[in-house]
């Protein structure tokens, strides 16, 4: 199993280099748990979902606490058959979810969002969940949407994606649960995520 | 069949509203062929791949010709079983690709990139192709990567995605060919795309 994300932070300000550099400090607590490598387009983070999503949450929340409009884009993946097996990506929660019926996975996901720590910053997210190599992939996707509708951070459905809104703690936990508990535990599952804060556009 | 994209443009400048507003003029020639709707996170474009990818190319090229660092993110989808059938999305190229062996589709894709008009602006792209609901989805993805490696705009493979670099005309045509000719013609295929220009980071 290989789990990780390609993550980019986009501050809509001429001082974008400073905003990015300062937000990157939020990744420091995770450098022991994640492999982190940056190039000119994105930052690769490799490791299990708990620190992976916390790192993305804290990176984005740090930037979103400033005055500037800022967005984050992430390509998140687990189980891609083209990636090497990585012992650092062994994930207990995936193993537990394996074999559980959909309703039990939805209940566990809801409990996790309820228990998510409050980050203290309001954000918008839209994301798509993709389940590969499964004949009935839409059942898992509809099951995930059912969970999201009860999660307290569901805003609305859009073409190709789902909108969430709320505290960064609950929102990133909802996306982590979507990633962990829907689609086969050993399967190839990906998420295409956009987070936004401080947009001047009317919400 | 339903085909479209959720597209966002991110100029890394305090004058981002002006850059976006001015680049949006590049979409005017496509408003007859595409349904275009904007909210606070992204712009939905619905229609067949030829105007769809040209619209994204021209929108991004317009912004990339300015001095500012600018990125574009797009969630592109065809054949999602959760979307309504839309007559405006009927696509001849998909019908032709259906049933063609991989080598013939690769050859057609290469010819299309060779013939792509020059946009006159150099860009970087990274993207992931996702093929849903197929047992052997990686065969199509590896077939697509094979095409990309010969396309003249391949830069390198990264975890979870492929990097392209070159003129915006050839690069967006390569992504359009990936979207059109790989994965089942009637299947659910998506792309997660990031384009970047004028980055101050060392390439």
pLDDT, one tens digit per residue, over A128-148 is 999 987 667 788 889 999 999
Contact assessment for residue A155 and residue A197, using Cβ atoms and an 8 Å cutoff: no
- Sign of the C-alpha dihedral computed for residues B4, B10, B15 and B17 taken in this order: positive
Q: Which of A10, A81, A196 sits opposite B41 (nearest CB)?
A: A196
pLDDT of residue A43: 97
Contacts of A138 in chain B (CB under 8 A): 81-82, 133
**B177: in domain:** yes
pLDDT of residue B133: 76
**A49: in domain:** yes
Residue B11 has pLDDT above 80, yes or no: yes
Over residues B28-74, the pLDDT tens digits come to 999 999 999 999 999 999 999 999 999 999 999 999 999 999 999 99
Asked if A196 lies within 8 A of B40 by C-beta distance, the reply is: yes
Quick one: pLDDT band at residue A159, thresholds 50, 70, 90? very high
Asked if A41 lies within 8 A of B6 by C-beta distance, the reply is: no
* Average pLDDT for A31-38: 96
pLDDT of residue B138: 81
Tell me how many degrees the CA angle A190-B134-B96 measures, rounded to the nearest 5.
110
Contacts of B137 in chain A (CB under 8 A): 132-133, 188
Q: Which of B80, B131, B132 sits opposite A160 (nearest CB)?
A: B80
In 3D, which of A194, A203, A128, A77 has the Cα closest to residue B4? Answer: A128
**A202: in domain:** no
Average confidence score pLDDT of chain A: 94
pLDDT of residue B135: 67
Quick one: pLDDT band at residue A32, thresholds 50, 70, 90? very high
Asked if A14 lies within 8 A of B14 by C-beta distance, the reply is: yes
pLDDT of residue B186: 86
**B202: in domain:** no
A-to-B residue pairs, Cβ atoms closer than 8 angstroms:
147
pLDDT of residue A203: 67
Nearest CA in chain A to B126: A41
pLDDT of residue A185: 86
Q: Which of B130, B190, B203 sits opposite A40 (nearest CB)?
A: B203
Q: What does DSSP assign to residue A27?
A: G
pLDDT of residue A139: 86
Residue B203 has pLDDT above 70, yes or no: no
The pTM of this model reads 0.96
Q: Give the residue from B23, B67, B71, B75 with the most A CB atoms within 10 Å of its CB, the best one to mutate.
A: B75
In 3D, which of A97, A101, A102 has the Cα closest to residue A185? Answer: A97
Contacts of A18 in chain B (CB under 8 A): none
Asked if B133 lies within 8 A of A137 by C-beta distance, the reply is: yes
* Average pLDDT for A29-37: 97
Asked if B192 lies within 8 A of A188 by C-beta distance, the reply is: no
Over residues A47-102, the pLDDT tens digits come to 999 999 999 999 999 999 999 999 999 999 999 988 889 999 999 888 888 789 99
3-state helix, strand, coil in chain A (%, to 5): 40, 30, 30
Asked if B160 lies within 8 A of A83 by C-beta distance, the reply is: yes
How far apart, in whole angstroms, are the C-alpha atoms of residue B9 and residue B69? 11
Chain A closest CA to B188's CA: distance in Å?
Answer: 10
**B96: in domain:** yes
pLDDT of residue A82: 86
Nearest CA in chain B to A40: B201
Helices (H) and strands (E) in chain B, counts: 6, 8
Q: In terms of residue numbers, what domain contains B123?
A: 3-197
Q: Give the residue from A4, A7, A67, A75 with the most B CB atoms within 10 Å of its CB, the best one to mutate.
A: A75
Q: What is the CATH number of the domain that holds B61?
A: 3.30.70.930
Chain B closest CA to A198's CA: distance in Å?
Answer: 11
Nearest CA in chain A to B199: A40
| Contact partners, residue B203, CB within 8 Å, separation at least 6 | A40, B124, B165
The torsion angles phi and psi of A129, rounded to 5 degrees, stand at -105, 130
**A108: in domain:** yes
pLDDT of residue A19: 97
- Helical (H) or strand (E) element with B168: helix B168-181
Asked if B124 lies within 8 A of A41 by C-beta distance, the reply is: yes
| Domain count of the fold of chain A | 1
């Amino acid at each position: 199993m290989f789990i990780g994300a390609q993550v980019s932070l986009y501050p809509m300000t001429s001082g974008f280099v400073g905003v990015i550099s300062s937000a990157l400090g939020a990744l420091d607590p995770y450098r022991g748990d994640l492999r982190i490598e940056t190039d000119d387009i994105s930052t690769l983070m490799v490791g299990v979902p708990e620190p992976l999503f916390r790192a993305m949450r804290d990176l984005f929340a740090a930037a979103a606490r400033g005055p500037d409009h800022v967005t984050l884009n992430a390509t998140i993946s687990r189980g891609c058959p083209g990636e090497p097996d990585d012992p650092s990506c062994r994930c207990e929660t995936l193993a537990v979810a394996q074999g559980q019926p959909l309703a039990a996975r939805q209940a566990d996901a809801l409990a996790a969002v309820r228990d998510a720590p409050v980050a203290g910053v309001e954000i918008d997210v839209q994301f798509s969940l993709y389940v590969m190599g499964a004949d009935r992939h839409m059942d898992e996707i509809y099951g995930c949407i059912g969970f999201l509708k009860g999660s307290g951070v569901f805003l609305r459905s859009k073409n190709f994606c789902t909108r969430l809104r709320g505290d960064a703690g609950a929102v990133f936990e909802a996306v982590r649960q979507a990633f962990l508990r829907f689609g086969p535990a050993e399967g190839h599952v990906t998420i295409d995520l956009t987070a936004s804060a401080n947009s001047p556009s009317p919400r």
